[in-house]
Structure 1
Amino acid sequence: MQTLTKRAIAGTLLSTTFLVTGLSSALIAQEATMVLPAREVGAPSYDPIRGTKLNVATTLIYDRMVLQDADQSYHGQLATAWETSEDGMTWTFTLRPDVTFHDGEPFNAETIAWWVPQFEGTENAFMTEAIESVEIVDDLTVRFIMKNPDPNLLSNMASSFMGVPSPKAYEELGDQYGVTGAIGTGPFILESYTVGQDTVLVRNEAYSAASALSVNQGPPHLARLTFREIGDDSTAFLEMRTGGVDMLLSVPADFRSMLDNESDVTMVTLPGRELFYMPINTTVAPFDDIRVREATALAVNQAEIVDNLYGGLGAAADTFLNDSLLESNVDDALRISYNPERAQALLDEAGWVVGTNGVRAKDGQALNVKLWTQNGTEFRRITEVIQAQLIAVGINADITVLDPSSINAEYRKGTEHQLAVRSYSWENADILDWFFSSDRIGYPNVSMWDDEPAEEMRILAMTGSRTWDERVANFTAYHEYVLTQFVFAPIYQPVQSFAYSSTTLSVPEQIRSTRVQSQTFLDIDVK
């Protein structure tokens, strides 16, 4: 277990008073405790550049160039204005003045010129790979010279992976950055962090980089925030009900109606940005046969999962992208949905014969496969339902449950897994590049998919789109091809629900983001 202790970095931190002398009774009253969503449990570090799994606390430690509103519009944070040339080959950003990192270092154009090249060679390099170079125009103006037009640049800049760290701290800590220290310009300062347990943040008293999406333009109202990692839904529910926590950032489906009936709990539902899916390892038998992959995908009864596990909340998934994205508008014939008759026929065609025990076999080998999932009630329940759905067509799946903080390292071994139940939360079609690029085989390309036509289409979508309309068209075509190869099975599109104690917290009525992030936390107050 790795623990980030109080202020591992020397410097004139604004939080020194909190850490050395302790909090006054008035400030203690301004504390709040939150429970992270299950998919965010187990983030191994707070390094936005090299990290592949982050949680919402990242958006409080670091500011970003721009933020995205719920209506998909962009608003300045570290950047106050921007413009692009007609040919899309330059972007010019004006930076916010008088911004200081938690370690006292200044934020300016030199910071951006240092920051962008840091992504090269990391798994997040796609965020900035269209940028050829960064020119410093003056102390508060930078110009991006592009390798190719990137109509998605603002979306990338709004990602939590694009939080800007202190160059001094980043260089000093090296590979340990995000583990033994994490320094941003954000509204909260990292006090302590224990992987898989909790993260404690304290207020940045000098904060002044709020966007127009927050009513509060100064330091946060809350003096101290604790984010707890609770993988078990029942435990999270009981903590909320008994007052052990003030907010659940994701409400377990089974407990929505019960929490909704609690007089001192307010529940809020937002449009979903998440998608559950089952990657299929294309490199190991029997899934190197596309007929078996298709049969496996068609055996998943998405509607049954929505109705029985989620009480009809959310929607069945039939592509890899959330329905809110234009690139999800594929040819209806390519959508992947429950079809047990075709699944049975495909397995017959592939030579897998049903045995007396209901499990298919071929050449004396039973159709037994490994199905991975991660700790957490929701993941386990979905996986168990899929296990039952697979056996209905003759596929026996043995479930392995792994810790979320270590499961990605296991995927990187390549051939250990065959099927898995996973989820992602993202608001952009470039998630296809993230999960299916041949550059990322093992993880995040858990399907282990390396396909030449797909690579050509992926590269065109990522780098060959001059306008937003071209990008949508290119990604839609790439998405359609992915669907024809059955490298995954779509499962479920959740809605977003969070709940908070209405006796202890005041939360904005309007959430100015695609999910609860920094702009909302600035306006949360205690009663």
Structure 2
Amino acid sequence: MLQMRVARSRRTALIGLTAALAVSLTACAESERDSGGGQEGGTLVFGAPGAPSNFDPFYASDGETFRVTRQMFETLVGIKPGTAELEPELATDWESTPDGKVWTFNLKEDVKFHDGTPFNADAVCKNFERMFNQTGAGATAALSYYWIENFGGFADGAKPSLFKGCTAENPTTVKLELTRFTARFPTMLSQDSFSMQSPKALDEYKANDVKAEGSGFVFSEYARQHPTGTGPFKFTSYDEGNGTIELARNDEYSGDKAKLNKLIFRVIEDETARKQALEAGDIDGYDFPSPADWASLEDAGYNVQIRDPFNILYLGITQKNNEALRDLKVRQALAHAIDRQTLVDSVMPENSEVAKEFYPSSVEGYADDVQEYPYDPDKAKQLLREAGHENLTVELWWPTQVTRPYMPNPQSIFGALQEDLEAAGITVKPISKPWAGGYVDQVEVADAQLFLLGWTGDYNSPYNFIGTFFGNAENQFWTSGSPWGQELADSLADADTTVEEGERDAKYQEINRKLMSDYLPAIPLSHSPPAMVVSSDVQGLVPSPLTKEEFASVTVSSGE
């Protein structure tokens, strides 16, 4: 996603119901489709890899929740379909004071929430006040991750907050005040957690009534049954037992109305089961087909839609439990030991790229002249000898029961890395755990020495990548015990608050150089293009590099 908390929730969402759900698809398919078909109307059934955590986007940080809520809710600023570019959504335009601390948004007129409540400046302020005034379980990183990551603290003042206040200047003009400049604003508002929700429904169904229970949370009636936004689809039902979420077209939508009558998400955790459901005609498409299946799916007449890569897969290095890994020469040896080009060519999807640093070249601050680590097992052995660790033993962790956009086949990736490290004389102890059954938890508390992890960008910003990874020196599993963790965090904070674009870009370039030469807290491996697949009857689904697809433009030419 977190990094770690987001990594937990965003990614854990892919662990939904078991593959046994697939057996119920055929029986339900007929009842879930309209008989008419045609260019507009009808029903799309889409296979999702995991279940949503709830339907209140503010209390979510996982892709499977956002896959659903994105169809029902809108944000002030949006992302142009098929790109990572900012565009207006509920706000038509915006401007700021020269210091970047006060932002004025002009709002779309004649917009209503699904319950008929008007969307206006007052509704915007009520949403931000609700976010800012979270307490108890609602103010924890597990639930308010995106607020904490972007705005910091809450109204209690326990920690500084970027948010200062919201003023409704008139029904169609709202002013948001910040405590400091950040280069991420207003782009950060495109994140689904900052969707605008009906103030009436939030109050009526006690949206803030969320409680911790055991290792999870009990959500409000609002989050479970009454999510209320302004988007082109509205909530109908969630059959949790069968893993089926049903949405209906919002006929009162202010923009271009959805072409489908109904949109159904069916949770099918297992990728093979998703493929079988598509082949049986029980679903119309699914996410994250195995790259090994792309060609056969296309040969069978399905449309494999490949997203542009906007992600990073890396080999994480925890310095806490293996003293040798605190030595820069040892980390450099690991980098030289890995044949990343062969990994990309033989294991990763077609059109994947070797990663030189921790985000794609399309993001601001990318440095073309970072230190590189070409595959050289002899150089790796030399560095280990110089460091006094020629007999290095490491634990290499990899996750099971998961498919990620940046990590389509964890076991195969693990196998390639193990072979490379052992060829450089490094003894590898394999450790595998289920993604939601210990892997993420133990990586988060620095139990893993070397581990596979990654990230798909939320929006086009260097801080959304390296700031998320390394911007908090207090509890970073990979910088724990390092002499430079705070220095790196301070440099990231300085770059984010630099107003002049050229100066900010130069600062990020220098951070990227140091990350690859002086720090090397992890080893960037690859950028890979995740795919979706739909039947030939499905038209108009635009793949997003951020995996933020919207289904309002989709048509199904013939139901069966």
| Fold shared by both chains (TM-score > 0.5) | yes
1:524 and 2:554 aligned: yes
> In the TM superposition, what is the alpha-carbon distance from 1:371 to its structure 2 partner?
0.9
Q: Are 1:65 and 2:76 matched, yes or no?
A: yes
CA contact (8 A) 2:352 2:529 kept: yes
Q: Which position in structure 1 is the counterpart of 2:260?
A: 221
Structure 1, unpaired ranges of 5+:
5-21, 211-216, 355-359, 361-366
Separation (CA, whole Å) in 2 of partners of 1:483 and 1:23: 52
Deviation, 1:151, is: 3.5
- Structure 1 residues 399, 435: closer, same or farther in 2, change over 3 A? same
Q: Distance in 1 between matches of 2:242 and 2:207?
A: 23
Q: 1:164 to 1:282 in 2, by over 3 A?
A: farther
SS of the aligned residue for 2:494 comes to helix
Trace 1:483-522 onto structure 2 (pairs within 5 A): 483-484=516-517, 485-503=519-537, 505-507=538-540, 511=542, 514-515=545-546, 517=548, 520-522=550-552
Q: Which residue is equivalent to 2:89?
A: 77
Distance 1:246 1:440 in 2: 46
- 1:52 alignment partner, SS class: coil
Q: Which residue of 2 aligns with 1:161?
A: 193
Match of 2:504 among 461, 471, 475: 471
Read off the aligned partner of 1:139 and give its amino acid letter: P
Q: What residue in structure 2 maps to residue 18 of structure 1?
A: none
Match of 1:34 in 2: 46
Counterpart selection for 2:167 from 116, 135, 142: 135
Gaps of 5+ in 2: 1-11, 17-30, 152-160, 211-218, 404-408
Cross-structure match for 1:384: 415
Q: Which residue number in structure 2 is paired with residue 257 of structure 1?
A: 295
Which residue of structure 2 lines up, in the alignment, with residue 357 of structure 1?
none
Partner in structure 1 of residue 317 of structure 2: 280
Q: How far 1:266 sits from its partner (Å)?
A: 1.7
Q: Which residue of 2 aligns with 1:11?
A: none
Corresponding residue number in structure 2 for 1:395: 427
Contact kept in structure 2, 1:279 and 1:447, CA below 8 Å: no
SS at match of 1:173: coil
Aligned pairs for 1:390-429 (under 5 A) are 390-393=421-424, 394-404=426-436, 407-412=439-444, 414-426=445-457, 427-429=460-462
Residue 125 of structure 2 is aligned to residue 95 of structure 1: no
Equivalent pairs, count: 479
Residue 113 of structure 1: aligned partner: 125
> Following TM superposition, by how much is the alpha carbon of 1:312 offset from its aligned partner in structure 2, in angstroms?
4.5
Deviations 1:83-140 (A, max 9, x none): 2234433211112233333455443222322333515864323434544322221122
Whether the aligned pair in 1 keeps the contact of 2:473 and 2:479 (CA below 8 Å) is no
Specify the code of the residue in structure 2 equivalent to 1:455: A
Amino acid at match of 2:466: L
1:392 corresponds to which letter in structure 2? A
Equivalent-residue separation in structure 2 for 1:458 and 1:149 (angstroms): 14
C-alpha distance in 2 between matches for 1:222 and 1:336: 53
In the TM superposition, 1:307-326 aligns within 5 A as 307-310=345-348, 312-326=350-364
Measure the CA separation in 2 of the matches of 1:436 and 1:473. 18
Q: Secondary structure at the match of 1:243?
A: coil
TM-score, normalised by the number of residues in structure 2: 0.76
In the alignment, residue 475 of structure 1 is paired with which amino acid?
Y
Would the aligned equivalents of 1:281 and 1:446 in 2 still touch at CA under 8 Å? yes
Q: % of aligned pairs identical? A: 18
Name the amino acid aligned to 1:275.
I
Q: Which amino acid aligns with 2:58?
A: I
DSSP 3-state at the match of 2:454:
strand
RMSD: 3.4
When structure 1 is superposed on structure 2, of 275-284 and 464-473 the one drifting more is: 464-473
Q: Secondary structure at the match of 1:310?
A: coil
Structure 1 segments of 4 or more deviating over 6 A? 1-4, 194-197
CA distance in 1, matches of 2:429, 2:246: 42
User: For the structure 1 residues 298 and 116, does the alpha-carbon distance in structure 2 shift closer, same or farther, using more than 3 Å as the test?
Assistant: farther
- After TM superposition, give the deviation of residue 229 of structure 1 in Å: 3.9
TM-score (norm. length: structure 1): 0.80
2:230–2:253 CA contact under 8 A, matched in 1: no
Task: Say whether the 8 Å CA contact 2:104–2:175 is kept in structure 1.
Answer: yes
Identify if the C-alpha distance between structure 1 residues 231 and 454 changes in structure 2 by more than 3 Å, giving closer, same or farther.
farther
User: Using a 3 Å threshold, how does the CA distance of structure 1 residues 23 and 314 change in structure 2: closer, same or farther?
Assistant: closer
CA 1:487/1:337 → structure 2, altered by over 3 Å: closer, same or farther? farther
| Greater Cα shift, 44-53 or 148-157 | 44-53
Which of residues 493, 508, 512 in structure 2 aligns to 1:459? 493
Instruction: Summarize the alignment of residues 39-58 of structure 1 with structure 2, pairs less than 5 Å apart.
Output: 41=50, 44-55=53-64, 56-58=67-69
Separation in structure 2 between the aligned mates of residue 468 and residue 159 of structure 1, nearest angstrom: 22
Structure 2 CA distance for aligned equivalents of residues 209 and 335 of structure 1: 51
- Following superposition, the deviation at residue 374 of structure 1 comes to 4.2
